[in-house]
Amino acid sequence: MLFGRLHKNPIQLPVKPVEKWVYTTCGYCSTGCSIEVGVNKAGKAVTARGVETADVNRGKLCLKGIYEFEVFESKNRGVVPLLRKDRSDGFQETSWDEALKKTASEISRVQAIYGRDSFAIVSTGQIYTEEFYTLGKLVRAVIGTNNYDGNTTLCMASAVSGYKRSFGSDGPPGCYDDFEHTGCLLAIGSNLPEQHPIIYYRLKEAYDRRKFPVIVVDPRVTMFAQLADIHLPITPGTDLVLLNAMAHVIIKEGLEDRNYIQTHTNGFEAFNALVDQYSPEVAEPICGISARMIRKVARIYAEAGAAMTIWTMGINQSTHGSDGVVAINNLNLITGNIGKPGGTSLSITGQCNAMGTREFSSCSGLPGYRLLENAEDRAFAADFWGVDAQHFPEKRGLTETDIFPAIERGEIKGLWLIATNPMTSMPNSPKIRKLLEQLEFLVVQDAYADVETAESAHVYFPAALWGEKTGVFTNTERRVNIVRKVVEPPGQAKTDLWIFSQLAKQFERAKNIHFSETPEAVFDEIREASKGRLCDYSGMTHDKIEASRGIQWPCNASQPQGSPRLYADGRFQFEDGKAKLIPLPFVDNNEVPDESYPFWLNTGRLVEHWHTRTKTGKIGNLNKFSPTPFMEINPRTAARLGIQAMEIVRVVSRRDSALVLAQLTERVAEDAIFIPMHYYNCVNRLVLGLLDPYSRQPAYKQSAVRLERVVDQKTAAESILSERTY
Ligand code: SF4
């Protein structure tokens, strides 16, 4: 079992006696690596290895995947349901029956007094698709609130919105195999080697064979930027201008694919009129990339034969994240780069099953990419579940980022949080605690009893973790893979599927609605509900998925082995089958540095940590690499401000302040700092978090801050260590 550099200084896990290897799929990021977990005679998970025959990872795993089996033994797992009368009381242990009864009666009470939408639900991208589907059925068909969302609004909502606006449906069109065929890879706001290390391995393998140009657009000199052929250190928040200017050059120089545009798109004239205003000379002072370089990369992209764009949060987490995604799609549509090997738009998703929630959780609609706004889709779901179609709202309700303001306005009185931790992940995080405390009823469902949100909860449901249950995830390239149960959940912790189906039984109105109770039976429902849809699962079974090491949807009778790419025939999901070219004027509405707050604050991920560290913060082999919040600061800036390496510094924004260690590095420019997103009570105190108008996703990556030296380092260190450093 090797990781680290490919050929030298490998780290080897100690060999442990293994009784059996259990096939499963990694539960951290959306790369979707196949893992075999080694279980010893006593039934304890003791080691792990990548699956050689899995096309996604070809035997490799990153640090998180290698040590994922250690989550089963991690501390502070929830092992019994907890209940308290009010927040001044301590939690008391209770039975599942009592906890479920109390929750159902509180949901009914809140809805009876304040209306059906006064109870909100925020879920996750971490549970299985069968669980998402069942939660969606419970929420849409039984509880009936329209204020139901996933935390995926914080990471992938802009990609969803952009795909819908351009192609008529969500669904990433490309796949990892596109690396093998592309003539140019453009990566915007994606630090692939750290965020998705195994996707990066796939890219690097292809690159080493064929040496196609790799262009990385990022304000920071990330690990990916260091490995690129061209790095464009763009001014934060201006990707749209760069993309418009690239389209300008391509059209002015006649490099566009006229035939593709005419046959497969609408809107070229209006689009052309808009990009005509974005010459490279206009773009240069806005995005900080020279006109000469913009022309160069535009020509490389258009003349590559097949070119692809990947992106992550650098595009999505912006006030114009959705426009950024549409601009990428525009670029690929005018160059004929959708649906062909090596030519695609490919969002690199965050959480292991953010795709599954998009497909079947009914958060933003109804299962199988069906829409609440569409009467036929409402009628299908009503008939399929055995409810009255009038029961469904006719448009989606609030997103997670709008639910918290609605709590503040007093419109939402009760909340159910499922495997998500807004106290660390939401912008303006100190306010989130106050809002949770304002609720009349809060239920928290999580694998860890020490999750920050539980401190404000009335009921706590202990949930099983990844690998303590069976179900499927969908990865970035639409590959559905199976997560087999490796070990039993601890104590009385239950699978999310069990919790949802048992809670349903507490409601009188669920009496005539069937809730399947095994993952296999729910999967059969999903297959049926997805038949004929873009995300068609009808040709899959759990066993077939495992045997294939994952299958990419659509998978049905005519494509029994699945489909690597969408839109290969040039037919999109709008009624006339054509994609839309959409003009996108740039509106600069972000906070920018000024005299009082002179530095850009950028945020992002570390390879060893996962989101809010509820899991990785407790795994010694991961947490030891970065247990303490820090910022990257340019050495010249540090010298100018008299800041020493590893000194604690106070970072101050217009919202709040946070203490971090100073790490001196040239990865950031002199007018910028970078702070990882993972730490409780840290960077999300500072960010502005303005919302994208289409996706409602917050802008985490463009805020202005100032830096203050801290005289009393000892007290500052104590303050940092008193936070959740695990
Ligand atoms: Fe897991 Fe992602 Fe690492 Fe693969 S790359 S092992 S899916 S965390």
Per-domain boundaries in the chain:
20-73, 173-347, 599-723
Please identify, by atom number, the ligand 1 atom nearest to the C-alpha of residue 196: 5
Closest-CA residue, ligand 1 atom 3, reads 62
Q: Quote the pLDDT of residue 7.
A: 56
Q: Quote the pLDDT of residue 11.
A: 58
Q: Which of 30, 71, 195, 198 should be mutated for ligand 1, with most atoms under 8 A from CB?
A: 198
Ligand 1 centroid–CA 611 distance in Å is: 13
* Structural contact between residues 472 and 128, judged by C-beta atoms closer than 8 angstroms: yes
Q: Quote the pLDDT of residue 682.
A: 87
Round to whole Å and give the CA distance between 346 and 578.
Answer: 19
Please identify, by atom number, the ligand 1 atom nearest to the C-alpha of residue 610: 8
Q: What is the CATH number of domain 599-723?
A: 2.40.40.20
Round to whole Å and give the CA distance between 531 and 524.
Answer: 11
* Torsional sign, CA 600, 604, 609, 611: positive
Q: Quote the pLDDT of residue 726.
A: 60
User: Ligand 1 pocket by C-beta < 6 Å: which residues?
Assistant: 26, 28-29, 31-33, 57, 61-62, 64-65, 196-198
- Bridge-partner residues for 82, per DSSP? 93, 460
Taken as a whole, the chain contains a residue count of 726
Give the pLDDT confidence of 95-132 residue by residue, as tens digits. 999 999 999 999 999 999 999 999 999 999 999 999 99
Do the domains 20-73 and 173-347 sit in the same CATH topology, yes or no?
no
* Structural contact between residues 111 and 146, judged by C-beta atoms closer than 8 angstroms: no
Closest CA to 628 of 714, 507, 523, 717: 717
Ligand 1 centroid–CA 201 distance in Å is: 11
Closest CA to 91 of 450, 412, 433: 450
Burial class (CB in 10 A: 0-12, 13-18, 19+), 259: exposed
- Bridge-partner residues for 604, per DSSP? 676
Q: Domain spanning 173-347: which CATH class is it, in words?
A: alpha beta
Ligand 1 centroid–CA 195 distance in Å is: 9
Round to whole Å and give the CA distance between 533 and 470.
Answer: 24
Q: Quote the pLDDT of residue 4.
A: 47
Please identify, by atom number, the ligand 1 atom nearest to the C-alpha of residue 56: 4
Ligand 1 centroid–CA 31 distance in Å is: 6
Q: Quote the pLDDT of residue 159.
A: 94
Q: Quote the pLDDT of residue 247.
A: 98
Q: Which of 3, 24, 196 should be mutated for ligand 1, with most atoms under 8 A from CB?
A: 196
Please name the helix (run of DSSP H) or strand (run of DSSP E) that holds residue 231, with its range, or none: strand 230-232
Beta-sheet pairing, 265-266 with 230-232:
unpaired
**CATH architecture type of domain 20-73:** Single Sheet (2.20)
Q: In whole angstroms, how far apart are CA 463 and each of 218, 247, 468, 497?
A: 38, 49, 10, 10
Please identify, by atom number, the ligand 1 atom nearest to the C-alpha of residue 199: 5
Q: What residues in the chain have per-residue pLDDT under 50?
A: 1-5
CA 695-698-704 angle, to 5 degrees, is: 145
The answer to whether the bond into 554 is cis (omega within 30° of 0) is yes
Q: Give percent of the chain with pLDDT exceeding 70.
A: 98
Round to whole Å and give the CA distance between 701 and 690.
Answer: 10
CA atoms within 13 A on the CB side of 541: 5
Please name the helix (run of DSSP H) or strand (run of DSSP E) that holds residue 407, with its range, or none: helix 400-408
Token representation of residue 119: 């109870």
Ligand 1 centroid–CA 550 distance in Å is: 15
Burial class (CB in 10 A: 0-12, 13-18, 19+), 484: middle
Please identify, by atom number, the ligand 1 atom nearest to the C-alpha of residue 35: 6
Helices (H), 561-661: 620-623, 635-641
Please identify, by atom number, the ligand 1 atom nearest to the C-alpha of residue 57: 4
Beta-sheet pairing, 479-483 with 471-474:
antiparallel
Residue whose pair of structure tokens reads 């069990």 in the numeric block: 498
Q: In whole angstroms, how far apart are CA 630 and each of 323, 606, 661, 673, 709?
A: 32, 11, 4, 10, 14
Closest-CA residue, ligand 1 atom 4, reads 33
Ligand 1 centroid–CA 407 distance in Å is: 35
Report the side by side order of strands in the sheet with 479-483: 471-474, 479-483, 551-552
Q: Which of 3, 24, 63, 64 should be mutated for ligand 1, with most atoms under 8 A from CB?
A: 64
Please name the helix (run of DSSP H) or strand (run of DSSP E) that holds residue 546, with its range, or none: helix 542-548
Q: Quote the pLDDT of residue 1.
A: 36
- Bridge-partner residues for 459, per DSSP? 83, 443
* Structural contact between residues 178 and 344, judged by C-beta atoms closer than 8 angstroms: yes
Ligand 1 centroid–CA 196 distance in Å is: 7
Q: At what angle do helices 321-334 and 268-275 cross, to 10 degrees?
A: 110
Please identify, by atom number, the ligand 1 atom nearest to the C-alpha of residue 61: 6
CA atoms within 13 A on the CB side of 414: 24
Ligand 1 centroid–CA 709 distance in Å is: 38
* Structural contact between residues 465 and 458, judged by C-beta atoms closer than 8 angstroms: no
The radius of gyration computed from the CA coordinates of the chain, to the nearest angstrom, equals: 25
Ligand 1 centroid–CA 217 distance in Å is: 23
